[in-house]
């Protein structure tokens, strides 16, 4: 994989991009109009508005002047811009991981709460090391041992989010297939089920299972993660991972759709207590 430094968008960069898009729309200007009035290249403006580039200070000031932005919003956006490069959670070796994955790691580290539906896997933040290794080897059959171990290490490090002073609030929903499939063998699955039972003792972690007898349900279309952040002004984010590629969704229509889908899944799933009872049976198997 490439050793060059990757661009990983942060929550603050996304917030700045969203504000600049909103301001341009409010001024009823196209990107071409802005380019003509400021001299900012259209491609550069596109990258700034898509959170793919941090604007230089003079570029940001030119945009704020054009949009006639006054304090306190003006000062706030300049301040946000100064902090958009903060990616302190990422480790040096993460530059060797896929860019979409490192972006996800960065967003996850800044999230206040997460709602995660998984159709086939135990959520990554709740996986044991043995289970994670078996999953990664199984789903990435061409990965080298080094690549597998890097991903396992990253997955284990991510779990520190559940143990910090103000832990991530995690609500997971899984299809029963995720706890019944023998990933790594019976011993691995017994230890994984027991680990889930241990983690679920924490008040900030909830897990529900949708049992096979529920039949078809809204989550069968695929897994997703819905995150929100400490500052209410930071836009919510939905992450979808599939064979076609990783998607980060942030429009209000998309956020509402996935928020509604998660509520439907919560309603059809077993209660947290019933789900723990099922996990206890898996943990007790020979």
My answer on whether 193 and 74 are in the same domain is: no
My answer on whether 238 and 98 are in the same domain is: yes
**CATH code: domain of residue 258:** 3.30.870
Pairing of strands 237-242, 224-229: antiparallel
Bond before 72 cis per omega within 30 degrees: yes
Q: Which helix (H) or strand (E) holds 242?
A: strand 237-242
Full-model pTM: 0.75
* Residue that terminates a domain, selected from 56, 82, 108: 82
* Residue that terminates a domain, selected from 58, 82, 106: 82
Q: Which helix (H) or strand (E) holds 111?
A: strand 111-118
Which one-letter DSSP state was computed for residue 128? -
Q: Is residue 5 assigned to a domain?
A: no
Q: Is residue 89 assigned to a domain?
A: no
My answer on whether 243 and 148 are in the same domain is: yes
> Measured over all CA atoms, what is the biggest interatomic distance in the chain, rounded to whole angstroms?
72
Say what the pLDDT of residue 186 is: 95
Range of the domain at 185: 94-283
Bond before 15 cis per omega within 30 degrees: no
DSSP SS3 for 116: strand
Q: Is residue 88 assigned to a domain?
A: no
For residues 115 and 157, give the distance between their C-alpha atoms in angstroms, rounded to a whole number. 19
Q: Is residue 148 assigned to a domain?
A: yes
* Residue that terminates a domain, selected from 52, 82, 112: 82
Q: Dig out the tokens for 6 from the structure.
A: 């990757």
Residue-level pLDDT, tens digit, the chain, 286 residues: 333 344 445 667 877 888 898 899 999 999 999 999 999 999 999 989 887 788 999 999 999 999 999 988 898 888 878 765 544 444 444 556 676 777 788 789 889 999 999 999 999 999 999 999 999 999 999 999 999 999 999 999 999 999 999 999 999 999 999 999 999 999 999 999 999 999 999 999 999 999 999 999 999 989 999 999 887 777 899 999 876 667 888 888 999 999 999 999 999 999 999 999 999 999 998 7
My answer on whether 148 and 207 are in the same domain is: yes
Per-residue exposure over 17-30, b if at least 16 CB sit within 10 Å of its own CB, e if not: bbbbeebbeeeebe
For residues 162 and 261, give the distance between their C-alpha atoms in angstroms, rounded to a whole number. 24
Q: Is residue 4 assigned to a domain?
A: no
My answer on whether 167 and 203 are in the same domain is: yes
My answer on whether 157 and 37 are in the same domain is: no
DSSP SS3 for 168: coil
What's the CA angle centered on 152, arms 150 and 154, to 5 degrees? Answer: 70
């Amino acid at each position: 994989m490439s050793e060059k430094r990757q661009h990983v968008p942060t929550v603050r960069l996304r917030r700045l991009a969203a504000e600049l898009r909103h301001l341009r729309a409010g001024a009823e200007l196209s990107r071409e109009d802005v380019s003509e009035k400021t001299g900012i290249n259209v491609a550069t403006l596109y990258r700034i508005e898509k959170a793919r580039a941090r604007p230089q200070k003079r570029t940001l000031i030119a945009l704020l002047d054009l949009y006639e932005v006054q304090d306190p919003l003006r000062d706030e956006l300049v301040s946000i811009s100064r902090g958009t490069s903060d990616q302190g959670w990422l480790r040096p070796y993460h530059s060797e991981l896929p860019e979409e994955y490192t972006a996800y790691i960065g967003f996850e580290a800044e999230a206040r709460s997460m709602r995660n539906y998984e159709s086939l896997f135990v959520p990554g933040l709740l996986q044991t090391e043995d289970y994670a290794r078996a999953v990664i080897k199984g789903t990435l059959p061409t990965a080298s041992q080094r690549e597998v171990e890097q991903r396992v290490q990253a997955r284990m490090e991510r779990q520190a989010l559940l143990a910090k002073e103000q832990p991530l609030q995690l609500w997971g929903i899984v299809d029963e297939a995720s706890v019944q499939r023998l990933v790594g063998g019976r011993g691995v699955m017994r230890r994984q089920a027991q680990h889930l039972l241990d983690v679920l003792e924490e008040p900030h972690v909830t897990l529900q299972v949708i049992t096979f007898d529920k039949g078809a349900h809204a989550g069968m279309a695929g897994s997703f993660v819905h995150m929100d952040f400490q500052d209410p002004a930071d836009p919510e984010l939905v992450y979808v991972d599939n064979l076609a590629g990783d998607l980060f969704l942030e429009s209000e229509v998309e956020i509402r759709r996935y928020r509604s889908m998660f509520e439907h899944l919560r309603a059809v799933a077993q209660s947290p207590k019933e789900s723990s009872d099922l996990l206890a049976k898996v943990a007790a198997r020979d």
